Amino acid sequence: MRKTVTIVLSFLLIATFLAGASLAGDTLADVKAKGVLVAGVKDSLPPFGYVDAKTRTIVGYDIDFVKAIANKLGVKVELKPVTSATRMPQLQEGNIDIIAATMTKNPERAKVIDFSHTYFLTGQKFLTKTGTVKSLKDLEGKKIGTTKGSTSEQNAKKAIPSATILSFDDYPQGVLALTQGKVVAVTTDESILAGLLAKLPKGAYEIPDIRISDEPYGLGIRKGDTNFLNFVNQTILEMEKSGEAAKIFDRWFGPDSDTPLKRNFTITADK
């Protein structure tokens, strides 16, 4: 009798464990089985994720990382546009397998999802009409545009409490407000502003040297999805070692690009 009870109890224990494991999910196994990696990406933010005029496909720095991960898995890529506000819910609801969308890692977000090692590093600045803003003081009491659900929105509120922050669905809408004189600045990561500036009339706008935060980007993965997180981290560390990561940076931010920036980071394991 005691033996039967022990067997039943062991069975129950194993069943409970398996149920728990499947709840946490194993994206690595799922993606291999379905043969496609579904990535949530930006589609209007050159050079991270935008629609190429010739090929009409989404290309960019974030896309190249997703492609490298899919390549290593031997699966296809499906790109799904997300916004700053929708990217985490999309991941949690299972509509995408990974976020590669200019997303800053921070402790608040890390309570909800897991992040890869940092694969890009930038900081928050402002895009303004040339000569109008020299310091944060010039922004006090003014209207500033940014995007809903971004760290840019939170940082701006903290850095300039007297300003009115207008949050749009995406950054190009903020730039439209800037060109129409509805805001005096658009604020977000310097690397994103560089892409927005490149599309504006030369000399009319600038990014003054006012930096209010550090923004390390991570690839977003469902909480507790350890196998997939390890795979992604291993892949991007290998890309750093082989020089592929630096090559991707150079493709989008090199001296011949529209958005020349210095590579002020290397991909290393988080401490």
Residues of this chain that interact with ligand GLU (CB under 6 A) are 84, 101-104, 147, 150-152, 188-189, 192, 215
Give dist(CA 55, CA 47) in Å, integer: 15
Q: 49 vs 208, which CB is nearer to ligand GLU?
A: 49
Asked if 267 and 237 touch (Cβ cutoff 8 Å), the reply is yes
Q: 148 vs 223, which CB is nearer to ligand GLU?
A: 148
**Least Å distance between CB 105 and ligand GLU?**
8
Q: 154 vs 257, which CB is nearer to ligand GLU?
A: 154
Long-range own/partner contacts, residues 245-248 (CB < 8 A, 24 or more apart): 245/119, 248/61, 248/64, 248/65, 248/68
**Least Å distance between CB 73 and ligand GLU?**
25
Find, among 24, 146, 165, the residue nearest to 85 by Cα: 146
Q: 28 vs 191, which CB is nearer to ligand GLU?
A: 191
Q: 104 vs 233, which CB is nearer to ligand GLU?
A: 104
Asked if 49 and 41 touch (Cβ cutoff 8 Å), the reply is yes
Give dist(CA 139, CA 165) in Å, integer: 11
Find, among 271, 269, 267, the residue nearest to 120 by Cα: 267
Q: 84 vs 235, which CB is nearer to ligand GLU?
A: 84
Geometric angle at alpha carbon 133, from 206 and 120, rounded to 5°: 50
Which residue of this chain has its Cβ atom nearest to ligand GLU in the complex? 150
Expressed in percent and rounded to 5, the helix, strand and coil fractions of the chain are 40, 25, 35
**Least Å distance between CB 85 and ligand GLU?**
9
